[in-house]
Structure 1
Amino acid sequence: ILSGRNLLIASKPGRTHLLQPLVEPLGVEFVAGTLVQESANFAPDLIFGNISSEGAELAKTYAEMSRTNTKITFPGVSGLTFRAGKGFTVKPVIVTESVVTDSTRCWNELETKNFNDEVPRFNPDAGEELQASLPLVLSLERTINERVQRIIVMGSADGISNGEFAVQRVGVETNNYALITESFRWFTQGEFPIDTSREANPDNALRHVQNADRKRIKTTFGFVIPSVLALMGLMLIVRRKNH
């Protein structure tokens, strides 16, 4: 870190104490416990991360994911907190839901360990706290040794596992692979992976054509031109039969 090189730090619940001394000088802290969210269709420790407004400014892919409400999934993740004053510009990239209802509450579970056989219950007496817009991925940037240093901290390494790249869940659009490509694109300041995106095609929906002109265009291309082509084909067939 002191050398000024880029770094990706990915932890997971139950192992955060091993990495806490590493991220402490950065002003980052792992929230104790495993984040859970009540859901009727998915496991409680499966968290659907949202692209934050800061994340949307970080990469065009993130901006498109934010527009289409595409999620990044974390099967077991620790939340992150940060404080200023460590020399870094810190921005949350992926966050939990900003609006949490009684049926979709999100909190840091401290008591339940086996989420396959046990149902977690929110217990504030145990130190559990309701969470909203809690960062799951942070980006940190500073200038040191005459170079720009960029660091990404993730609350779960499972979010970039092969399993999450391959799995598809009904009713939810996800794109975990973008977390890999856009992180390294940010590290290299856009040099790699190569950006092959293009500007959107010009309007082809006739939105700027008057209603009267639309009818003429529809008649011309939907009736007149097909009729002329059909007539020419019929004439060609008749002439060939006569000869």
Structure 2
Amino acid sequence: MKIRLLLASAAALTAVSVATPAMAEEGKIQIKAFVTGVLPDGEITDVNTDIVGLPAGSQSRATDSVVPTIAAEYFLSPNFSLETICCITPHDVRGSGALEGTDLVDDLIILPATVTAKYHFKLSDKIKPYIGAGPTYFFIFGEDVGADAAALGATDVDLSDELGFVLQTGVDVKLNDRGLGLSLDAKRYFIGTTATFRAGNAVALQTEHDLDPWVVSAGLTYRF
């Protein structure tokens, strides 16, 4: 009887020792559902062509946007991961400075194709801040000539797609042992675009712009 009891105890301890690491091991994939604020700049940095004659002190700004986003992350190790995001953000371009209040571009959509490599710090079992960086490519489409630009004769506008760079920081907070968590994230993009206004087939105005948006997010995560 004693031998059977000892064997049973040993078997139980072995089962626990094998099961515990498996339960503690975190999954390699993490999905994040965010509410995201996109806060671009949009200022004019250079004027390539100016047939319309912009007044001195002319400037522009891009409007902010709040959108839902999804991020997908793959952990290469407990500390290193790769992440990409999925979202589109709508914006308008308005005049500032000497152009204050003018409607220049309406309904442009940005698709920021972004991949970041991230390093995670372990403050505790529950709190893990991180930093990251990587390339981004902005696809810009859907833009329409604003009412004030159309009144000056513009019939078409195009904002160029561009390659840029992004820096990232944030923190993941573990809420339970079933993979649920909370994440706060901030990205700063370094990227520009060229805006070309046409009157018929002629280029009436072409300007360079810094977009350089801050992108701040908060939401829930699931890791498996």
- Shared fold (TM-score, shorter chain, > 0.5): no
TM-score category (smaller protein): under 0.3
Structure number with the higher helix fraction is 1
Structure number with the higher strand fraction is 2
TM-score normalised by length of structure 2: 0.26
